[in-house]
Structures are given as C-alpha cells and as structure tokens.
Amino acid sequence: MPATARDDTHMREALRLAAKGIGRTSPNPMVGAVIVDGRGAVVGTGYHARAGGDHAEVRALAEAGRAARGATLYCTLEPCCHHGRTGPCVERIVEAAVARVVVAMPDPNPAVDGKGIESLRARGIAVDVGLREREAARLNEAFVTWVAERRPFVTLKVAASLDGRIAARPGARTALTSPAANRIVHGLRARVDAIGVGSTTVLVDDPLLTARGAPRSLPLTRVVFDRRLRTPPAARLLGTLDAGPVVVLTVESASAQQRERQARLADAGAEIERLDAGGSLRDAFARLAGRGLTSLVLEGGRRVHEAAWEAGLVDRVQVFVAPVELGPSGVAWMDRGAILRGVDTLSVRACGPDLLMEADVHRTD
C-alpha cells in the first residue's frame, strides 16, 4: 500500500533509533524498529545495540508484548530469516501476529537478501519496502560495502596546506590542523572499525592512531601497509594495544631479514598479515574484510592514498585545509583537481581556522 505521512514519521523514528548503534554494532548493521498499534499509538521500540545482542525487532516486540497483535512494524532493514548469533526475527514477528511490516531497505546479506520479506508475505503478513531507503542505505553504507564488495568502506582523509602540501619537507613531521579539526578526526576514529597508514607515516610521524576525547565502544584496529616491514617494534602505536590490535600488512618473503623483522614485530604485539608477493591493495582490503572490519579511514601517506584512489577503492574523501602555505619545498599531496572531478555532493564547512571539504566518490560502473 502507498506510504502515508504517518508511515514516514514512524520510519524516521526507526532511523533515529538505528543511529544509536553507530560505532557499536560492527560487523552487524545498525537497525531500528518501531511498533504501532491500530489506533496509531507507539507500543514498542528497539534498536540493535551490539553484535550478538538482540535485534531491533526482537527488542521492540518484547516491549510491545500482546499489543503487537495486529500492529504495524517499521524496520530500517529487512528482518532476518536465518540462524546467526540469534534466532530469525521473521519467526518472532509471525508469532507476535503482527499484521503489517514496513521495511526501509532489503538486507544485502546473501543469507537474507529478500528471503525475509518473502517469508513474511508467505505467512500472510503485508510487507511494504522502500520507505526512506536512501537514508537507511546511507546509515549502513559500511555494512553494505562490506557485504557487496568484500572490503571495508574507505574514507580517504588528509590534512593539507593551501598550496596542497602535506609536510614542510620530506621526512618532516608537520602539524597542520587546529584543535577544532582534530576533534572531528577523533570523532570519526571513534565510529569506524579501523585506521590505515603506510609505513612512511609511521616512520615520520610515529602516531598513536587512537581515538582521543571521543567515547568508543569497540576495539579500534590500526593497520600499517608495510611491504618492506619498516615499522619499528618501538613504534608508539604498538604501545597502545589496549585500544585495539595493530595489524601489519606485508607480503610473503623467504628472506631471513624479513622473517627476523616479522618476529620482532610479533614480539612487540603486532599481528602480521602476509599477502602473496603479487598481492594488490584490493587483496589487502579483502583480508581486512575477512577480519570483520567494515570501515576504514586511510590517514596517509600519499602513496597509500594514490594506490587506493587509482584502484577505485575510495568511497569518501575528507580534505582538511589549513590556512598556511608550505611552499615548493613541501611534500605535495595528490592532484586535488582530479579528486574534485571524481566526487559528488561536495560539502565545505569551517573547523576553527581550517576548512573541511568532504565528498562521496562518484561511481560510473
């Protein structure tokens, strides 16, 4: 049946509830649910709070109790119909005698992928699909990318000067952004599964790569792309394992020197992931997806950024521009004009004295 204004109101509330799971549910999606009885009264609400916990629909049904009979369930994602860590939500919906289910978007998980909708309809429950689908997909863009492409959703993040430089000179640690911009960076770190950098960034900046000043519920994985195993065992990020694992992605090698470096890093607490010698960045991202990492912020350096961009593996770009010029001796970043030609929905906002330019990558395939 056509969606009504009341339907829209309740789905917006379901989306608001789903967003409470930001940074908490990975690798599961964020889901919200609202149950409304025949008189239009909300009798149950719920959201998915953590992977392995009750699904949104189950929590809403528990709150509604007998009032769910003959009611309408609004759900931001198709109810599951398979046994995972929890039982299938479809069965609980049928048992509660819900009359109608309004779904924002189908679940791209192959174990569901329309089967939950089909099962509900086969049991005589009316199902409407697509109300505020775009918002629901945006909320779960990392989960959708992880399922559909077997890689994390990738945000390319960089801080640059007005003249497009990322460091004052090669090998120089250069702080560019203000505290206001840094708060935004740490807020993003608090929401994603992983941060990725190249080995040059580790050698030059020796970063902690932690989320500071922003609450975080799950461990934060730090990833170092390091084909030559240049990461020092004394790197500061290896002293922050209480914040989450440090994964060093390298390539298979038979050399004694490489084996010795791997052993030293492993002794320091790093988890070594070895790719075939010809392995690509896409292969590396697939390995991260296999770890259940659905979102990744690439924080540097230039070579990692270029490799990800040229391979078509970037989903969003964040460019922080500081009001300084570093001059011709500075280390240039990528061609910002090429980046801007490859993105959609560019937004610009002030972060103290800095500017943040943020955009989704334009897909032509």
Active site residues per annotation: 57
- Matching residue, tokens 């607490």: 269
Q: In the 8-state DSSP scheme, what is residue 165?
A: E
Query: Which two tokens mark 38?
Result: 């025949």
DSSP 49-104: -STTS--HHHHHHHHHGGGGTT-EEEESSPPP-S-SSS--HHHHHHHTT--EEEES
List residues bridging with 24 in a β-sheet. Answer: none
**Distance (Å, whole) CA 22 – CA 139:** 9
Residue 6 CB-half CA count within 13 A = 11
CA-based radius of gyration for the chain: 23
